[in-house]
Structure 1
Amino acid sequence: RREFMTRKYLETKIKEIARAYRTMPLRELSNRLGVTESSIEENLAQLIGNRDIDGFIDLGKRMFTAYSVPRTSSTKSRPKQKKAIPVDEGNIEIVRDYDFEGGQVHMKIAVRNKSNMAINNVKVLLDAPSNFKVKQPLVSIPVIEANNSRGVDFYLEPKTCGTSNIGGTVIFKDATGEKHSKHIKKKEVAIKCPLVCTSMSTIEDCQVAIQTLGNDARAFLIADLDPRLAYRAAIRTLKNFDTSAVTSHEGSDVKGNYEAEAWFCSEAKTTGGRIITRIYVSETSQSL
């Protein structure tokens, strides 16, 4: 391992390896050159942004892929490159939105690079109140090419009900290596009660529990719908919530008409009380 390595030497070695192997895990590239993965990731992002390497970094698999690596000619002098101009922060746009997915808040943030230069080493840091549990508050994007955008996803588990504001910060470097930061405008997120979590129960547990629970039944006429489609639509709807399926059955009644039944169970996070949902579809009564 070299005790000292200049940036130019590191970039040269990365290009040599990329030209020879085309695809390689970031960890192996790090071991070969004796530098950290974060340094490899940052230098690769700058090389891709400066078009010295035509390729991309797959953050999920931690793999680097190079399509081509231009060679400098020994007989002809390389044309003088234009001096990189620092990016105008006004050309970097950040948009955000959210929805609910399986009892969690799904926060979506997109970084749009409207400048004519690539930005690299982009870090999206989420700033959420303490009443949310965030598994991964920081997501890195190696490079965003000019006139391109990249989106990242955060999943937040609410601990209490109420209204909160969620914001954050985007940090990035431009082609000159200058660091910039932009605030993510806060988004108001409303969490309605009750907060629920999945509850692993048996059908026997549910049938005993409903004896002491209030009945909040609703019936819907499905005369114009295929009862099978209505049943499946109801199942898909329940799967959008943080609840566990206990049992389900599709069959026929004594008249030979279609009927189906499914049970779901969840538990309130604060009080611990059960919430039991039963779906029943009958072709005979044309109801759900």
Structure 2
Amino acid sequence: MWQPDPASLRLFIAVCEEGSIARASEREGMATAAVSKRVADMERGLGTQLLIRSSRGVNPTPAGDILLRHAKQLMLGVEQMQSDLSEFSSGVRGLVRVLANISSIVEFVPEEIASFLQTHENIHVVLEERASSEIVRGIAEGSADIGICRDFVAEREVEMMPFRADHFCVVVHRSHPLADRSEISFADTLGYEHVGFAPNVALHALTRRVAHEHRRTIRYRANVTTFDAACRLIHLNLGLAILPAEAIQKYQPLYDICAVKLTDPWATRQFVICVRHADQLSSAASKFLAHLTRPLPAGNSS
């Protein structure tokens, strides 16, 4: 049985990506015959054909497709391992990988990381923005240590613990017909054009579901990926948006916009921290989790 090794996997990836053993050989700086023999050895060891060879080049067989997918995952893991370990040569004594959604990043995550690093200088925290559904999947698959996301995503073999809360509001231009309202229901916004977000953003699915419950549809003027982009569109009176009130406080001084309280029960939402197994976290990740879940001073719990 063939035993996979990084060199062979890298060669096989190159052959599939180039669609040619000759071009893969040039890319990897090896003789064509050597690459061809390496692939043939892999096929013999696995007992199955991996490539369909023709005068126009090569294409992976179904078995080759499976090997290619796993090879890419393994090579990414090797590269990540090398990157993670290289941190220790510069004095780092721990690494924590964090996935967080855009709301939490705008509202509080950078401040939490900064305050943590004040007392843990030798721990390196790497932050990556993801949609809430992608965060849960990433934690379940082990691509990060800690996730911070919304509570309205399906659990997927991860531990979730309540974190902070925030409150959605309706953000409009100051001249918008709804700007003078002190509060409003989501249903009352459906007569106006919305600025929405990408389909993989949890808020997008939530608002579409609520609109469906009212037997209505949302009319989108635009779909964006950041709060700043949404606020710029609202500033130009190109629609309204449902956004976290806590995040909008940072944008109100910059744009001609205002926030109207949303009265629906779902407007108050919970952030959750998710981990794969809390008792199996590294020492560095455990320390960051303890920092996140520490008791906050009175009046700063949201």
Smaller-chain TM-score range?
A: under 0.3
| Larger of the two Rg values belongs to structure | 1
**Which has the larger helix fraction?**
2
More strand by share: 1
TM-score (norm 1): 0.28
Q: TM-score, normalised by structure 2?
A: 0.27
